[in-house]
């Protein structure tokens, strides 16, 4: 059994439009007034898939593995137990403290 910490996270693409407008006004008495206006629009980029639309995903982040437990026949033999543990550690790139191997009970 593999325990995952968290869940899968998807990061969609965004279309960002930003408009900055500066207005400087001068009156007849020498005074000035500056007005800054900023408009920002953020939209998720959508793609067509058949007759429907779905977000365009740039990146998908998978959850990290919190731990693994393996139940195996003959795991009561220390050599087999260590071999299984080393295989799981290598394949999943996990430290030893996140992998447990237990013998199967009959």
Cβ atoms of residues 72 and 103 within 8 Å: yes
pTM: 0.57
Examine the pLDDT at 106 and tell me if it is beyond 80: no
Examine the pLDDT at 101 and tell me if it is beyond 80: yes
* Span 30-88, pLDDT tens digits: 889 899 999 999 999 999 988 999 999 999 999 999 999 999 999 999 999 999 999 99
CA distances from 10 to 13, 48, 49, 82 (A): 10, 18, 18, 37
What integer is the mean pLDDT of 11-39? 91
């Amino acid at each position: 059994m593999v325990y995952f910490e968290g869940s899968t996270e998807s990061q969609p693409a965004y279309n960002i439009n930003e408009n900055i407008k500066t207005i400087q006004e001068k009156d007849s008495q020498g005074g000035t007034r500056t007005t800054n206006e900023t408009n920002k629009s953020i939209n998720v980029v959508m793609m067509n898939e058949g007759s429907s639309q779905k977000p365009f995903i740039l990146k998908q982040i998978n959850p990290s593995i919190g731990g693994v437990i393996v139940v195996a026949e003959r795991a009561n033999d220390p050599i087999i137990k260590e071999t299984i543990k080393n295989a799981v550690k290598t394949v999943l790139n996990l430290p030893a403290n996140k992998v447990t191997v237990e013998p199967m009970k009959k």
